[in-house]
Amino acid sequence: MSLPEPTVSQLAAPVSSVWGVGEERAKLLARLDIFTIEDLLLHKPRRYEDRRKFLPIRDLKPDEAATVRGKIIAAGIKCFKKGMRAMFECVFDDGTARLHCRWWQAQSWMPDWYVVGREFLIFGKLDDDKKPRTFTHPETELVEPGDDEFIHVNRIVPVHPLTEGLTARVMRSLIWRALEKFEKEIAEPDIKLDLKIFPERSNAVRMIHFPEELTDVEIARQRLALDEYVALQFQIQSRRKKFEALSKALPCSGDNRLMKPFLAALGFKLTAAQTNVLKEIRADMSGKHPMRRLLQGDVGSGKTAVAACSALMALESGFNVALMAPTEILAEQHFRNFTKWFEPLGVKVALQTGSRKSGEDGGLQMEDGKRVRPSILNSPSSIFVGTHALFTAGFDLPKLGLVIIDEQHKFGVAQRETLVRKGNYPHLLVMTATPIPRTLGLTLYGDLDVSTIDEMPGGRGAIKTFVRTTEKLPKVFDFIREKISGGRQAYIVYPRVEVADTDKDIKAVTKEFENVQRALNGFKIGLLHGRIKPAEKEKTMADFRSNKIQALVATSLIEVGVDVPNATVMLIENAEHFGLAQLHQLRGRIGRGAHESFCILVSDAQHPEAQARLKILEETNDGFKIAEADLKLRGPGELLGQQQSGLPNLRFGNLAEDLNLIRQARELVAKILQSGR
């Protein structure tokens, strides 16, 4: 079973088979990741110029980029003062007016290139409305009178990403030639597309480079993006199919004998959303194939309780459970919760993190510091809580029925795969508190079914968010002092551990800690960051939980999962240095109890985009809306963080925009796979 190859082998030929590409140019093209003819044909233009008619220089306006066509009437290097760097300037004339173009750093090739009498196309924007009319650092293209005029002028032309030594004009010519010769080799993949809506693939490739109208560009892009998504979905869905054919599910539906007393002792009633999700999970765990489910829910929506119930189903069925968290703090928090919940039910809970290693006897550490004897590994119905250390080499959990991964975006897709291979295809529940925009969900987790908790437990105080400048900090600290005096607690977050020489303006916890102590004197302040020893970290967290510490000065280390309902203030300085999703996560640390909570984002950022981003947080508490906005503003790589390895390499697809295309691709591929081809 395979997707009909969208291309045939001719297109896989080296790019040197295009006329005009010799050894030298092939090397330059390789710098742009262009190795084959197909790579060249799919080299996406970075912008377009409408060269059907040129604007007279006389009519140029300061705020509008435009292309003009003019002859050089004067050119040369200018030095204003001794010792200053040289500037290169040339003057163009198009018969209506003159245009001065300047480059602040004269390059040695310029005098030989910008020669009086030569004709150029010049793309740029007037510096201001003063005379002489001036472009600074415009893009230019030499007009060569000759045979391929129709490629470079009198039409909408593409301007491609370039590299030094390769001009826009050469690139355009190469692509034109490649199209002329190989266009008919671009095969239509057999995916039953409605060709009334989408152009044929070969047509789309031509249109993306040489559109008749500018509106053609987006149509062509969509077609080419769809092909990318189809290929991607094909990978995802056939992997899942293969997996299902391979693996039989362990029966883990449970019999409620632990669940009943657990729910009775829990102290709250599950929300309707939590109950619904549990129904889906139970159906999965009693199904034919091992569960592969992503559970998403905004911070504080109660995913841990859902995880606990799922664990109980497996435990009741006589299987062990592994729960993996991304940090030690979180693993320990889960360990504490699960110990509190499960020990009374007679279920053993064990902890395994990097700093609390299993002993030589293969045992695991318990909360009271005692080692678990290896016998626990053989007795049924245990839950193992830990970081990725849980799955380090040589440590195979026996009778593993369910693996739960919390905050999974920190792990990466490949890791997830190897993880569940360890056991006998246990059920897998992945939990994420970073709401993932639908497009990313379908792309990254297309092989997982998705459940969403879309309701917050009741009885929570509201969270108010404010953006303030540093000028207001004294007032902010007065406010925090007032809240702490009233019995509440606060988080105070800075981007850095230590002040960096290169960026003295970015505040760091180690330095600010003293300032905070001064500002909040009389109260106990804790310090938390990645370079503090685990034992000390744990002690600080324990003191914060029991309100021995009133304010915690921390890095974004506390971003995920930490749960202290009495903390109602979150102050984040240099807020512009955090991603939106990250700020939302941080804000999720408050608003967990009945008291009203306050998130104060402090930033002096002048940039309108930075201000717009912070404003989004002021306006909404909805994690999905924030994630969508973040995706649009920063792109998927930034949104997911560096650790994310699973992002596909898309030339035409735009994950911030293409939900509909991804959905279509998904359906098309599902149909193809169903028909069993």
| Footprint on this chain of ligand ADP (rule: CB under 6 A) | 268, 270-271, 274, 297, 299-305, 433, 457, 563, 565, 592
- Rounded to a whole number of angstroms, the CA Rg of the chain reads 31
- Binds 664: which of ligand ADP, Mg ion, none (CB < 5-8 Å by kind): none
305 binds, among ligand ADP, Mg ion, none (CB under 5 to 8 A by kind): ligand ADP
**Cβ closest to Mg ion, residue 211 vs residue 561:** 561
Query: Token match 């309780």: residue?
Result: 305
Q: How far is the CB of 429 from ligand ADP (least distance, A)?
A: 13
CB 342, min distance to Mg ion, A: 17
Between 114 and 384, CB nearer to Mg ion:
384
Report the residue number whose CB is nearest to ligand ADP: 302
Stretch that binds Mg ion, among 115-123, 308-316, 558-566, 664-672 (CB under 5 A): 558-566
Cross-strand partners of 76: 89
Q: How far is the CB of 408 from Mg ion (least distance, A)?
A: 11
Helix (H, G, I), strand (E, B) or coil at 414: helix
Q: How far apart are CA 434 and CA 328, in angstroms?
A: 19
Question: Residue 407: left if φ>0, alpha if ψ -120 to 50, beta else—which one?
Answer: left
Report CA 348 to chain centroid distance, whole Å.
Answer: 37
Tell me the closest approach of the beta carbon of residue 417 to ligand ADP, in angstroms.
24
Which residues does residue 50 pair with via DSSP β-bridges, in sequence order?
Answer: 156
Burial label, 551 (beta-carbon count in 10 A; 0-12, 13-18, 19+): buried
Q: 357 with 389: CB under 8 angstroms?
A: yes
Closest approach of Cβ 275 to ligand ADP, in Å? 9
340 vs 677, beta carbon nearer Mg ion: 340
List the single partner that 592 binds among Mg ion, ligand ADP, none, CB under 5 to 8 Å by kind: ligand ADP
d(CA 432, CA 418) in angstroms, rounded, equals 19
Q: Based on CB atoms, which residue is closest to ligand ADP, 6 or 297?
A: 297
Site membership for Mg ion, residue 326 (CB under 5 A): no
The minimum distance between CB 391 and ligand ADP, in angstroms, equals 21
For Mg ion, the closer of residues 579 and 588 by Cβ is: 588
Residue 457's binding partner, choosing from ligand ADP, Mg ion, none, with beta-carbon cut-off 5 to 8 A by kind?
ligand ADP
Q: Give min distance, CB of 406 to Mg ion, in A.
A: 6
Which of the 8 DSSP states describes residue 9? G
Nearer Cβ to ligand ADP (364/569):
569
For the CB of residue 407, give the shortest distance to Mg ion in the complex, in Å.
7
User: Which amino acid is present at 179?
Assistant: L
Q: How many of the chain's residues bind Mg ion (CB under 5 A)? A: 1
561 lies in the site for Mg ion, by CB under 5 A? yes
> 166 or 433: whose CB is closer to ligand ADP?
433
- Which residue stretch of 257-265, 446-454, 556-564, 568-576 sits at the interface with Mg ion (rule: CB under 5 A)? 556-564
Contacts of 451 (CB under 8 A, 6+ apart): 276, 277, 280, 281, 293, 294, 295, 296
Positive or negative: CA dihedral 65, 67, 69, 73: positive
In the bound state with ligand ADP, the residue whose beta carbon lies nearer, of 322 and 433, is: 433
β-bridge pairing 139-142 and 119-124: antiparallel
Nearer to Mg ion, 34 or 430 (CB): 430
3-state DSSP assignment of residue 504: coil
DSSP-assigned states of every residue in 229-287: HHHHHHHHHHHHHHHHHH---------STTHHHHHHHSSSPPPHHHHHHHHHHHHHHTS
209 binds, among ligand ADP, Mg ion, none (CB under 5 to 8 A by kind): none
Residues in touch with Mg ion (CB under 5 A): 561
